[in-house]
Amino acid sequence: MKIAVASGKGGTGKTTVSVNIYNTIAKYIDKNVLLVDCDVEEPNDAIFFQNSKLVDTKEVKQLIPQIDTEACTFCKKCAEWCEFNAITIIKKLQFAEINGDLCHSCGACSVACEYGAITEYPQPLGIISHFQTEYGKGLIEGRLEIGSAMQTALIKEVKKEVAGENGSIIFFDAPPGTSCPVVETVSDADYIILVTEPTPFGLHDLKITVELLNDLQKPFGVIVNKAGLGSSEVYDFIEENNIELLGKIPFSKEYAANYASGDILKSITDEIETTYREIAQKLINK
Ligand code: SF4
Ligand code: SF4
């Protein structure tokens, strides 16, 4: 079973929810569980596993094409084949360039060029690390190369790491928002947990994310974090739209202080731990 944890905006507690649900299942319910940090621009999950051990790390590269302007006839065929508008050809100026930030390494331009003017070179995309955690099968983290805009490409590579994990419960901690990297993360999930907070901002972003998941025809439920703060509008929206409310994580100053020091697993309050156990049980029964 693959479960993605997403939120329409940052700061709702998506990471703490992912970490806590993984830890709760691994500790009390089923050891055969994995956590995958797909928030590749800012992977934070590992910070909260204070006893974790880095067991493996590898560099991931992507092939970026380059044009040899000596061999190029400026015919523009490569630019026509490129679905990502990454290639600029200006015949008058004898100018030919590929924008590495837009290139998705699909290889189409190299196939298109009949003059052997395009060669592909490996460029760093990011690092994939495996951590052993106290309970469960561990954490896999993708960390994007600084300056790279290729989040989606790295997330695809990170997901390949769990391709053979049949029979495991896999949690994908998605990037915040509703853009391509989020779609890539949730695309093959069996169920999605949306994390929100009971504030006008939380509601606004929840609505956008719900729309996205309805378009993708994905089953989902909501966890309201920082419950007890804000207003009832988020709950009204959940009820009016027949959305499954998986649980409410009560706001706690003590918990917020533990979060700030990275200590959320050991110093969890009884009330919050009970809530996570109830949520974990609901997910396992799906
Ligand atoms: S590899 Fe694909 S995305 Fe990159 S420049 Fe060539 S055609 Fe465009
Ligand atoms: S297809 Fe080849 S020859 Fe034509 S513009 Fe592109 S690189 Fe140049």
Encode pLDDT of 175-208 as tens digits. Answer: 998 889 999 999 999 999 999 999 898 999 999 9
Pocket of ligand 1 (CB under 6 A): 65, 81-82, 84, 86-87, 98, 103-109
Distance 88 CA to ligand 2 centre (A): 10
For residue 116, is pLDDT > 80? yes
> At residue 49, what are phi and psi to the nearest 5 degrees?
-100, 85
Is the pLDDT at 261 greater than 80, yes or no?
no
250: Cβ–Cβ under 8 A, 6 or more apart, which residues? 227, 228, 271, 272, 275
How many A from CA of 70 to the centre of ligand 1?
A: 20
Name the least confident of 8-17, 107-116, 214-223.
8-17
226 confidence band (pLDDT: 50, 70, 90): confident
- Residue with the smallest CA separation from ligand 1 atom 6 is 109
Question: E-assigned strands of the chain?
Answer: 2-6, 33-37, 53-67, 87-90, 95-98, 118-132, 138-144, 169-173, 191-196, 220-227, 244-250
* Nearest bound ligand to the CA of residue 81: 1
Give the Cα separation of 27 and 255 in Å (integer): 20
Q: Which residues contact 230 (CB under 8 A, 6 or more apart)?
A: 197, 198, 199, 200, 202
What pLDDT shows up at residue 251? 83
Q: How far is the CA of 105 from the centre of ligand 2 (A)?
A: 16
pLDDT at 20: 94
Tell me the pLDDT tens digit for each residue of 6-38. Answer: 998 777 889 999 999 999 999 999 889 999 999
Q: Ligand 2: list residues with CB < 6 Å.
A: 67, 72-78, 89, 96, 112-113, 115, 117-118
What pLDDT shows up at residue 264?
66
Residue 40, token pair as written in the block:
């590749």
Spacing, Cα 84 to ligand 2 middle (Å): 16
Please check whether residue 35 is in contact with residue 47, taking contact to mean a CB–CB distance below 8 angstroms. Answer: no
Q: What is the pLDDT of residues 63-111, one digit of tens each?
A: 999 999 999 999 999 999 999 999 999 999 999 999 988 898 899 999 9
Atom of ligand 2 nearest to the CA of 77: 1
pTM more than 0.75: yes
Span(s) in the chain for CATH 3.30.70.20: 62-124
For 148, other C-beta atoms within 10 Å of its C-beta total: 18
**Tally of residues, the chain:** 286
Give the residues across from 170 on adjacent strands: 2, 34
| CATH classification code of 62-124 | 3.30.70.20
User: What are the start and end residues of each CATH 3.40.50.300 domain in the chain?
Assistant: 2-49+133-284
Beta bridge partners of 186: none
Per-residue pLDDT for 215 more than 80? yes
Q: What is the mean pLDDT of the chain?
A: 92
**Rounded-to-integer distance, Cα 41 and Cα 233, Å:** 31
Q: How far does residue 187's CA lie from ligand 1's centre (Å)?
A: 23
Per-residue pLDDT, 104: 87
Q: Indicate the fold that domain 2-49+133-284 takes in CATH.
A: Rossmann fold (3.40.50)
